[in-house]
């Protein structure tokens, strides 16, 4: 007999938000392999909500999550700029055309005016698109909000639960951790991030090709410093992004996507060197020094859309994975939609515009 209706593997943002949405209706177990939830991806996020991040297919999830995030006090104003050199104007034209019907809000800036917003930019970076609604996300507060909500609704969190075996026993699943502990649950939700395909294989489900990609971040001190509260600035060709922090530091990433195995990511020397090289081609500074570096994993399905729904071959196995770099900013709507699919419940105001079929694991064969 099952002790739980649902065992969620992974207590990062995906697992925590799903637990919070389902726990009011079911007996939920939340299993985390590490000593604390959110150690790998959630705790290393660049922490912004930007409507176009992830592409047009992700805009509906981001927009549907906005009210929840703003009303919950998890967002603070930032603004975003997509910038390019003079010869990159066709790329900005293509960006506008690509997102024209997505619902994302942005405007083209007059050539050269971007230098007023980011005065340290080298003068060749003259072209820009402005997104006024971009905001910082308080990732830690949002994650804790979901963990607390799940706990208050009766969900049980178990840490240091590294799952090594998953088996069927009659009408329930038996999940066994490396230390020998076992749990029985009617259904499993795979919210294991970079480890999602590995967990699927343990349960006898076909892996969907969810690939972890490593992203490098640098925290730098520069002189002269960028204005506090200045915009998130992204290269229109995808070569970098950066944002000033309230401490006077700058976060800079070379926007790398290095395929890797599920692991405790650490920054590679080559990626750090690449970041410094790109930094020097973008910003003019008198001095700069690295204060710290880190890396995180962003896990994508082959079509770079999230995977939400029941497995087509293995019963009682639910996917909530492949949330890439946009999983924080889409968490409210994605988790609400996943809960409704799991419970076969009707859509509400947050999810009524979302097309669940586009996120189903069935689309991947």
> CA distances (Å), 323 to each of 4, 152, 193, in order?
25, 26, 8
One domain for residues 219 and 123: yes
The pTM of this model reads 0.95
pLDDT in tens, 43-76: 556 689 999 999 999 999 999 999 999 999 999 9
pLDDT in tens, 201-220: 999 999 999 999 999 999 99
Alpha-carbon gap, residue 93 to 246, rounded angstroms: 33
Q: Say how many CA atoms lie within 13 Å of 313 toward its Cβ.
A: 13
Alpha-carbon gap, residue 47 to 106, rounded angstroms: 20
DSSP 3-state helix, strand, coil percentages of the chain (rounded to 5)?
30, 30, 40
At a CB cut-off of 8 Å and minimum separation 6, what does 240 contact? 234, 252, 253, 254, 255, 275, 278, 279, 282
Residue 113: per-residue pLDDT: 95
Looking at residue 222, which CATH number applies to its domain?
3.30.9.10
One domain for residues 254 and 146: no
Total domain count, the chain: 2
Residue 45: per-residue pLDDT: 63
One domain for residues 173 and 196: yes
Does residue 63 sit within a domain?
no
> CA distances (Å), 45 to each of 69, 198, 224, in order?
16, 23, 26
One domain for residues 251 and 317: no
Residue 231: per-residue pLDDT: 96
One domain for residues 150 and 294: no
Q: In which residue ranges of the chain is pLDDT below 50?
A: none
One domain for residues 231 and 119: yes
One domain for residues 172 and 122: no
> What tokens does 331 get?
């968490």
* N-terminal to C-terminal alpha carbon distance within the chain: 32
pLDDT in tens, 105-115: 999 999 999 99
Does residue 150 sit within a domain?
yes
């Amino acid at each position: 007999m099952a002790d739980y209706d649902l065992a969620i593997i992974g207590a990062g943002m995906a697992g925590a938000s799903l637990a919070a949405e389902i726990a009011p209706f079911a007996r939920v177990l939340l299993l985390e392999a590490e000593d604390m939830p959110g150690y790998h991806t959630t705790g290393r996020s660049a922490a912004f909500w930007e409507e176009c991040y992830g592409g047009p297919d992700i805009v509906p999830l981001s927009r549907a999550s906005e009210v929840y995030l703003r009303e919950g006090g998890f967002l603070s104003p930032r603004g975003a700029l997509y910038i390019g050199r003079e010869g990159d104007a066709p790329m900005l034209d293509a960006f506008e055309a690509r997102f024209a019907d997505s619902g994302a809000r942005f405007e083209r800036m007059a050539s050269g005016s971007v230098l007023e917003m980011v005065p340290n930019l080298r003068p060749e970076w003259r072209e820009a698109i402005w997104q006024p609604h971009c905001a910082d996300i308080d990732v830690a507060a949002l994650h804790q909000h979901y963990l607390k909500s799940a706990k208050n609704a009766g969900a049980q969190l178990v840490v240091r639960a590294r799952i090594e075996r998953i088996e069927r026993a009659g009408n329930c699943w038996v999940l066994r951790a490396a230390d020998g502990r076992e749990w029985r649950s009617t259904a499993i939700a795979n919210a294991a991030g970079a480890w999602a395909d590995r967990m699927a294989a343990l349960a006898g489900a076909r892996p969907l090709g969810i690939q972890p990609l490593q992203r490098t971040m640098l925290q730098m001190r520069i002189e002269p410093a960028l204005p506090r509260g200045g915009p998130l600035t992204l290269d229109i060709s995808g070569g970098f992004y950066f944002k000033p922090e309230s401490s006077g530091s700058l976060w800079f990433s070379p926007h790398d996507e290095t395929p890797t195995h599920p692991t405790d990511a650490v920054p590679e020397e080559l990626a750090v060197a690449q970041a410094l090289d790109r930094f020097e081609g973008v910003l003019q500074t008198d001095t700069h020094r690295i204060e710290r570096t880190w890396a995180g994993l962003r896990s994508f399905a082959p079509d770079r859309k999230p995977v939400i729904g029941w497995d087509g071959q293995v019963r009682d196995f639910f996917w909530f994975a492949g949330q890439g770099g946009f999983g924080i900013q889409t968490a409210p709507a994605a988790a609400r939609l996943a809960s409704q699919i799991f419970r076969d419940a009707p859509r509400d105001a947050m999810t009524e515009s979302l097309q669940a079929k586009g996120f189903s694991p069935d689309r991947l064969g």
